Structure 1
């Protein structure tokens, strides 16, 4: 809580330790990361006296009051109000209310204090810092409602002369307004009506004060402010040579780059870092360097060191005399700014003597200019010295908002021979440059050092020749005043020679970054970017460069990019005069469902005109690098290429899945002999044979015909099958070769094939191999079926132990129905034939694990953590037995902060899909279905279960609501079964709760996983999780199994009163219930072979629970004997 006055801390710890004077606020945050900007304002008798907030998972705060005070509480909203709860008790200890989640914003409670504390006279000490007052004054005073604003009734004194004036005044407990003035109102402070310590009145803006029952001292404030005075850092004043030489610069460093520095300089958090532009955190740091391109800053985001030191190169003060000063430019913006300490030592490893320190924020905004700080170093004159900049993290404010920055570090001393200055570079070409400087005094000789090599000069300018193109050069100049009297080096200056034409063959890999000889178009929408590894967006862009471990150039298509945006870059100029058959070779990667267009144009660099387009492609080419070989037809000897990316969008209007990339861009001599493998055809399907054909396509990319080469393939790393080609393949033609030797793919599974083209004279063997794969999908065995016996006119049920398609013939015939059971009504004994279909699915009841096991760590084949997490710890979920639905269950609780995913292995969008789960909902329930195999890439739908209401959202809109039983009559949660079924032929979903349909909705988007996410308020237990999928192209059994329905003539048999029979659930996991309206006398259960597996006698009840969990999964027949007849029913145990 930010208290306006320190008296409340004294109240809480002293006077009111035992008195009943305090309102107490107990605050919680369910996620544990604090209130994220939310707070509670507390006012007493109309004056705001406190602002309370919660850090971490919980905080307790209080406010002292007097009897009869009117206390008002107001809630200020933050970023995550759904995580917030709090309770308030009055001074007597009585609860006034419990609030949240999502407390009402604004005033929510007004109460008259029943505190036992009453007004008394106490001594109040006022303190005001007058150090920044620019008006003339003699004696400050404090005026307020207690002295009727009398003027100089309460004068203040400054006994120690530190600029802070004080006055101690006896006041009764209560609330007052006051302000500081001087010399009987000759001047008065002007306060901000919106500031925390004022009354908010824009006309009569006064400070507010609440006086308790014990002596108090008000914190020192600056005149006209609620805070202490912020004095500027120590300014640079220059050196005083007092006739002993002249001021001269002996050291300068603009952090471009930090050559020669040492210490805690790196790239991570908690280190000094080189940077240009803004820092990575909002609300802190500068927006750019003070001068030059870079600056040095400490990154205060979580991690790394709490104290870090950066040490300068050696600063040479050996030639100095009388005085010396270090100066640097500092930017200290952010509520979490800590302490910067500047030290000096004659050793780079210290110890360092502290010369200056600064603590806290100085700049008010990121865009505010740097401030130049000066540090006297006279005691180090005549020595070689190192300066340390040590930063200690702050302990207040927002921790990551403490990025302090320094730039342009310089040292000046008194010199007899002053170093030259104002170094200037001009007329830079690829091989030459002119440099000049301003003399430090009257010297007539200088020593110029360029990249470590020195030459004597007799004028203040020099022409440098024989330089290397596209190379960085740094130079410094020493003044030679007399023999043995040479100045320190001037500040360094740098330049880079321009590019000359690269001589073909060339190959730009971008592994050294974006070449200085390449350029970005300034008239397009955005730029190409150097990258390594994968691009930020899923399901688009490469995962690495072409060769692995290097860089590539790509266009980032995420926001703020939009449809039609264009990025163009230009290659270096390439001299192709030495090539007979110039060929452009480059790699492109165009993967994503919003892929746009890539164009490459050829330019004549001598004239700056376009020769023509040499490559264009639009749309997705798959997740792969594609090699392009393009013969160049031009008379130009100096050529250049423009590479242009134009963004497109997908069916959802999104551009982000459109990251395109290029790599290895260059021109070379076209190969005379160059065969390339471009495609392979290998079948995937059901019931593959031992003679599967293998096909390979080869193109002649060379300049001559080829007629003697070998083609081969190897299956799963086996011995290659090699076949020789003797026919002629002309330049530019493609050969489609079907191998005479077929492949045996009868076993179910994946087959990896390695292809090769072997030409002994091939100039580019890199494109002579290819990998491909095929799969013989799982084909189920013929199902086990069960028929039925009925009276003519009744309905029969035939069933199978797997999902099946039912026909009226053993082969061919007509489709009768599908499913693991169907109802039929033949008029005569009839055979039905079941053809099993392959299904995918998984069932989990968590009973095979130990309590405390982590589900992802235990079963990584089916479960995964949310991206960025690690299985088996804080990101995983634990098995629990507290609410087992007949055993263990999975605890899903917001307090655990975990987030796991049940994966389906692929994205299903055809056929049928089914998902079921049992939930014991203590708080709220929540899951969501993911659309893509890549977790987090796209949401299919979100489902909430809150207070007995089930809601399904698709794309943020509710598409179905239903009901479930939240609690039993005693108010305790109960188990509910939720089922979600989709027929993808229409995209129709149907939702069931405990077997009762809640309605349907249409959503044809695919499903690839279910995310068990415990958001705010979520707390439940999960059990019996099951999913299943049947795709339209699922493999089917090679044969069918017969199920016979026997139809009997029952016209002469008295109808048995069978009653209403129900077996549920069916299918089941072995535990089920048999219920009939007529009492059951005996149950006999047999397997598909007729063997009795269980018999229950002398029941005489209408409801029986059956347990077959110790038996194998499959189909069983139940013979139910009642007092009025015998019934037969089938049951499937899964």
Structure 2
């Protein structure tokens, strides 16, 4: 007895009779359960029947199977179904007769289809909504053929073993080349723990899928080597950790049929999206060398879009409209008038209109994950406020990126404002906020850490950033060959400059108060440092003629410890020296007390 939701039969019951006599009365799946097994004996020729069904709260979740002593399903059904007739035990098994092709199952009955079987750690469920981690947090994108019910495994309820959904026997002897297709959706929601779907045919592995899908994706498997009877199994598995509960894999619209003479392309992807262009890539369905693309604004009706004939598996769209979402379809042209079906859509949204220098990208973070609590990063271009940025609780600790179009020579200010949104809160948790700013080339030109501004307790403001400056700042700062008194400082030049200014000091020093050296070598060996000390350094390009870049940094490094000579004394009044080590484990870490 099976409950697809996994919460029991919610009051529903049924009686099992043998030769008209009640063997069990009031059978049910208990509350919180997904499967309940009841064993009984029967003799050849016995007539078995389910009778006296009592309705519960969610009868559409109910299904059942009767298995023989070999574990083979001999009959199955849903709530209200009965099975009777002489010789179920030892006579003809209705599920032993292979189903003819084409075979199609969309699970639209809302319960386990007849002659399908379940086994393993827990059951696949037949649902039209949920569980809460199917798709992305319970949200399913894309479309399937039938579009309603689907088969899904709730990863959060997984009991530690793989779980299998098996089709009936299917007769492919009438097919020239059999093909299996189904829709799959999988998303680990950023947890790092992907579930895996393994597909077997007659015990042979014919497909394995691990990793996020772009919503519902149709998978195509060649079964042309099978010529008789086949049985397909969908096997769910996941990492053996209690944290792996985010990826509830679902499938829909399982079909075994004649493979098309012109296979459709697969694996549509988009890349290199700008405000006016995008690249579309795909994998050929067979040996074809020509394809048709149809595209248009998202939601357009196929046949009304723009069609392009191409001879490569990559196509670059140009002349697109900024900040617009497009749908794209691809069809194989196998020659001689033989065409595949169109596959898609895959969607791509163009960026906002670019400036003459492209974009600055602002990336804001909240270390606690509850948003900026009213604080804001005010963005001004040439003195005019254009945006105020922040994160929300929905963003968690993830960085939130915003594109800012900039023209050559624009001067951009990023001003951190406490309670910019006027919440009036006495504590807006400024110490949780930080941000980075990237230039048009994707190089960090400002990195404001939490608490870097002593005046506010939040991140420092970044003012006067010039878009596409005539003298570009260095990037990718490093420190190597560190000793107790020296370090080699290195960087990547912003352009063709051969001179730089370095400012350095003890970590946390205010720029302008450090030691500045003009250098012409990269890397530069900085000497005369103090042992066991943390240092920051900033660097500026000098392009000549008085043209200099902004300073970038800080980059932080620490010198090594001296080899102390006895007599040695340490009273810990200045805290624990970096030259002392402390395991810091919760059970045995040393602490300093006054």
> What TM-score do the two structures reach when normalised by structure 2?
0.48
Q: Which of the two has higher C-alpha Rg?
A: 1
Higher RCO (C-alpha 8 Å, min separation 6): 2
Structure holding more strand per residue: 1
